[in-house]
Amino acid sequence: MGDIMEKRDYKKIVDRHKPTENRLFNAIIAFAVGGLVGLIGQLLIEFYSSWLSIPTQDATSFMIVTLVFVSCLFTALGFFDKWVTFAKCGLIIPITGFAHSMMSSGMEYRNEGPIFGVGANLFKLAGSVILYGIVAAWFFGMIRFVFLGGV
Amino acid sequence: MTFTYSDVYVNNYATVGGPYEKDGPLGPSIDKVYTNLYAGKKTWEQAEVKMLSDSIDLVLRKSKKNSKDIDLLISGDLLNQVTASSYAALNFDIPFFGIYGACSSSVEGIILMSSLIDGKKIKNGIISVSSHNMSSEKQFRNPTEYGAPKPKTATFTSTGGASIFLSSQKSKIRVESSTIGKVTDMGQTDPFNMGAVMAAAAGDTIYRHLKDMKRSVDDYDLILTGDLGIYGKEILIDYMKKEYDIDLGKNYDDSGTMLYDYAKQKEVLAGASGPLCIAMVSYTSVLPMIEKGKYHRVLLVATGALFSPTFVYQHQPIYSISHAVCLEGIK
């Protein structure tokens, strides 16, 4: 097909028919929903520390466990994916997105069995987050160790 | 490569759809619908096999034929190693070819079958295709429960199976000619904009078909492309105008824009896709129109994006292909 249009010219046609995404709207929604998740987290910490008299540090862990559990439960009940589609990074960036990514992978591959299915695919989406999270943590830990003497 | 046929006819066709197809504008014309995506099976993949088998079963029943009366079954789908087709084929006592042309499989099958029938190698055969929204989503994208946000240009894989029965026995529709497409590369890399990937292949095939048959767009009552979606359709119209100076005009439509109701079904984004898409739209609306005499000559241009997630991750461009088949009504 020697006489066919140049890829550059074709790209121009494609770009002309590319719909504009509502970036501002998406950002506002993600900001609001992400903030709401943060607020719920803070309220949970307040609840655990003042009502149940748990030390703040432990209450933070309790808050994380609660959010992880709730988002996993909502994923399992089948409506959290619709929320994620709507709120996008507002639910993907907080701990809720991490839990949701593992839960949805687990559910997807349950039919392939515990080893080749759930076991092999549970970290399909979350694996990168964990790996690079640990690598980044190591680097920042080293920087802190070198410059602040491990304080 | 374009050739004509003298003695190949469309005798019957059948479609099986899922809940999204049922809610679309063509819903009432689908022969059998499952309101649940699992279709009574345990997994998405098995549900796809079930829908495909059902469509073959239906077309056999409509044609009052037994498995044993059929010379050949050609089937295609999107699952790895065309497994939905092979697994469905076991249910029938018919010699079988599994083919892969991505979303162009239905027309690819019709071309192969028509050539065999016209060459008098076989008397009749069934071509079937299937796709399943969830099994494709799982294979090509993210886990289905993840609900990853997608751009507006993304298309929505249709769910179900469709089968067509061709033979040398005269009927109201004949397979007139066909054009085999070439693999096309336009440097497109976005798996969420398949319309842009496939429009160039469709344009090339339509152009070569018209040239080889010495016809113009006006000689067709309908030119129907596969699954370009809203934006791919616009790209094709623009591309045909600019590259070949052909005005597709009002007789052109895209089946990706016809299967779903955009106003009500927001989740379909740019429209329907999958091997099933053009087959389902043709078998529920276009072929009946030819039988009724409303259309005389129709060009079905199925489009397929040739890629795999592995190649996309390796930063390779997404190639595309498009095959065309011309159907004519017989008065």
Radius of gyration of chain A (CA): 22
Residues B96 and B156 in one domain: yes
- Residue in chain A lying closest to B229 (CA): A17
Residues B142 and B88 in one domain: yes
* B145 to A124: CB separation less than 8 angstroms, yes or no: no
* CATH at B80: 3.40.47.40
B95 touches chain A (CB under 8 A): no
* B188 to A14: CB separation less than 8 angstroms, yes or no: yes
Among partner residues A11, A88, A108, which is closest to B143 by beta-carbon distance? Answer: A108
Among partner residues A10, A18, A109, which is closest to B231 by beta-carbon distance? Answer: A18
Helix or strand run (H / E) with residue A132 = helix A126-148
Which alpha helices (H) appear in chain B, and where do they start and end? 19-23, 44-62, 83-89, 105-118, 133-140, 194-213, 229-239, 275-281, 287-292, 309-313
Task: Give the residue from B167, B193, B217 where a domain finishes.
Answer: B167
Which residues of B, range 197-216, sit inside 8 Å of A by Cβ? Answer: 200, 204
Q: Which pLDDT tens digit goes with each residue over B12-25?
A: 999 999 999 999 99
Separation of alpha carbons B49 and B84, rounded Å:
5
Residues B246 and B273 in one domain: yes
* Amino acid found at A29: I
Would you put residue B81 in left (φ > 0), alpha (ψ -120 to 50) or beta? left
Task: Give the residue from B167, B189, B214 where a domain finishes.
Answer: B167
Q: Which residue has the tokens 């997630």?
A: B309
Residues B134 and B208 in one domain: no
Residues B76 and B223 in one domain: no
For B178, the 3-state DSSP assignment is: strand
Kindly list the residues from chain B whose CB atom is less than 8 angstroms away from the CB atom of residue A117: none
User: Do the Cβ atoms of B2 and B213 come closer than 8 Å?
Assistant: yes
Among partner residues B144, B231, B267, which is closest to A19 by beta-carbon distance? Answer: B231
Chain A contact residues (CB < 8 Å to B)? 1, 4-5, 7, 9-11, 13-14, 16-19, 21, 75, 78, 80-85, 88, 100-101, 103-105, 107-109, 111, 124-125
Residues B183 and B162 in one domain: no
What pLDDT, on a 0 to 100 scale, did the predictor assign at position A3? 52
Among partner residues B143, B200, B234, which is closest to A10 by beta-carbon distance? Answer: B200
Residues B132 and B178 in one domain: no
Q: Which pLDDT tens digit goes with each residue over B239-253?
A: 999 999 999 988 999
B247 touches chain A (CB under 8 A): no
Low pLDDT (below 70) residues in chain B: none
Q: B325: domain range?
A: 173-329
Residues B160 and B34 in one domain: yes
Helices B133-140, B44-62: crossing angle, 10 deg rounding:
140
Residues B209 and B104 in one domain: no
* B146 to A18: CB separation less than 8 angstroms, yes or no: no
Q: Is ipTM over 0.90?
A: no
* A5 to B200: CB separation less than 8 angstroms, yes or no: yes
Token output for B199: 């429009």
What pLDDT, on a 0 to 100 scale, did the predictor assign at position A151? 64
pLDDT tens for each residue of chain A, 151 residues long: 445 678 999 999 999 999 998 899 999 999 999 999 999 999 999 999 999 999 999 999 999 999 999 999 999 999 999 999 999 899 999 999 999 999 999 999 999 999 999 999 999 999 999 999 999 999 999 999 999 886 6
Separation of alpha carbons A65 and B35, rounded Å:
37
How does the average pLDDT of chain B come out, rounded? Answer: 95
Residues B72 and B202 in one domain: no
Q: What is the pTM of this model?
A: 0.93
Task: Give the residue from B167, B191, B212 where a domain finishes.
Answer: B167
The three-state (H, E, C) secondary structure of B257-315, written as one string: HCCCCCCCCHHHCCCEECHHHHHHHHHHHHHHHHHHCCCCEEEEEEEEEECCHHHHHCC
Dihedral (CA of B148, B149, B150, B156) sign: positive
Residues B254 and B319 in one domain: yes
Domain count, chain B: 2
Residues B125 and B222 in one domain: no
